[in-house]
Amino acid sequence: MNDYYATLGVDRDATEADIKKAYRKLARELHPDVAGPESADKFKDVAAAYEVLGNADKRAQYDRGVDPRAGHAGAQGGPQGFGFEDIFEQFFGGGGSPFGGAAQRGPASRTQRGGDTLVQTTVTLEEAVFGVKREVQVDLADRCETCKGSCCAPGTSPETCRQCNGQGMIQRTARSLLGPVMTQSPCPTCGGYGSIIKQPCADCSGQGRTHSRHTVSVDIPAGVETGTRIRLAGAGDAGTGGGPKGDLYVEIREKQHPTFERRGDDLHCTLEVPMTAAALGAAMSVDTFDGDQPVEIRPGTHAGTTIKLKGLGVGRLQRAGRGDLFVHLDVHTPTELDAEQEQLMRQLAALRGEEMPSSNLAPIGGGVFSRLRGAFKPR
């Protein structure tokens, strides 16, 4: 484990003020701007030592034999990403590099990519099943046709900023404990661009873009649902200063259908079957998105029976094919009978011996109890 006390040249019972004083003295002597680039490693060691001993919690851990910087490569960053450059900024101010003066940066560019735009559109369930081509209305920023995105009035161009000489940054010399330190900040005159637009375009107010309403054609694939977003690359807002366009996202909202319920890629509906058709069997049809489809009602069909019509569901968004259509049968029992119908029903009950229906209870869930008995039956 590194001996941070020895690195700073202080005793283990040194006060916080002693540690800070020792660090400032060594940092002043070892700073590469003062002692040369060869002292950079020693300066980092001193900064790492102060990072630990200058913090009461970290110093307590270190005194218990735990190095808070263990597992962090070099002196560039200790726990929570706090390293020697952070310490340097804490004592001597930011805006510059501790090694070799101010960091050099060029002027900022007025050309920026346009933002992404989100618009919503509503589709019916049938359109979600098969897909649809839709036109949506959206307000977008366009490149100014007057200045062609240059932001300048026609026939003019930006002029070099005299205060920063086109650099976009202003360098200043700040006094610190280590002596003069170079700092830099964006030029207040040109805003960091290095140039000034003295005659901005009147049509776009010097932004290089205008706004208008657009009609955008969107191919909505089968399988979309509420929340699905379709990305149209390069169809969003134009950027400032003639920058490229952003993207346009079309978010789907799906209407509920009065007959069909969607569950993923499958569709569900209910078919009402007359009691006589359920008892005797019948051939019926279901009006689907693919037209009328035959449904066979077998004799003795019970309420709740489900018939699957394969491939008549929703088109799949990520793969080929379609889901299925599930038809749930609901056996309709008549509630109003005329005298003749009632007489016929009574005759049928008599023939079936059902004038006095049995009150025997049937197992719940189609024989759950019998299955449980079978599970515990000795083998």
Q: Residues marked as binding?
A: 144, 147, 161, 164, 187, 190, 201, 204
pLDDT tier at 373 (50, 70, 90 boundaries)?
very low
pLDDT by residue (tens digit) across 180-222?
777 788 899 998 999 999 999 999 988 899 999 999 999 999 9
pLDDT by residue (tens digit) across 137-182?
999 999 999 999 999 999 999 999 999 999 999 888 777 666 677 7
User: Given this structure, which CATH class describes domain 269-351?
Assistant: mainly beta
Q: Is the pLDDT of residue 318 over 80?
A: yes
pLDDT by residue (tens digit) across 244-299?
999 999 999 999 999 999 999 999 999 999 998 999 999 999 999 999 999 999 99
pLDDT tier at 81 (50, 70, 90 boundaries)?
very low
Each domain of the chain, given as residue ranges in start order, spans: 4-92, 117-153+201-254, 159-196, 269-351
Q: Position 167: which residue type?
A: Q
**Residue 38 has what pLDDT?**
79
Q: Residues marked as binding for Zn(2+)?
A: 144, 147, 161, 164, 187, 190, 201, 204
Q: Is the pLDDT of residue 78 over 60?
A: no
DSSP 22: H
Same fold, 4-92 and 117-153+201-254: no
Q: Name the H helices within 108-267.
A: 125-130
Residue 40 backbone dihedrals phi, psi, to 5 degrees: -60, -40
CA–CA distances in Å: residue 212 to residues 50, 143, 144, 201, 236:
58, 11, 11, 17, 12
**Residue 360 has what pLDDT?**
60
**Sign of the CA dihedral 245, 251, 252, 253?**
negative
Q: Is the pLDDT of residue 369 over 50?
A: no
pLDDT by residue (tens digit) across 91-121?
444 444 433 443 445 788 888 899 999 999 9
User: Given this structure, which CATH class describes domain 117-153+201-254?
Assistant: mainly beta
Q: Characterize 254-280 residue by residue with b for buried, 16 or more Cβ atoms within 10 angstroms of its Cβ, and e for exposed.
A: beebeebebeebbbbbeeebeeebbee
> Domain 4-92, what fold?
Helix Hairpins (1.10.287)
pLDDT tier at 133 (50, 70, 90 boundaries)?
very high
* Residue 109 near residue 187 (C-beta atoms within 8 A): no
Who wins on pLDDT, 141 or 376? 141
pLDDT tier at 41 (50, 70, 90 boundaries)?
confident
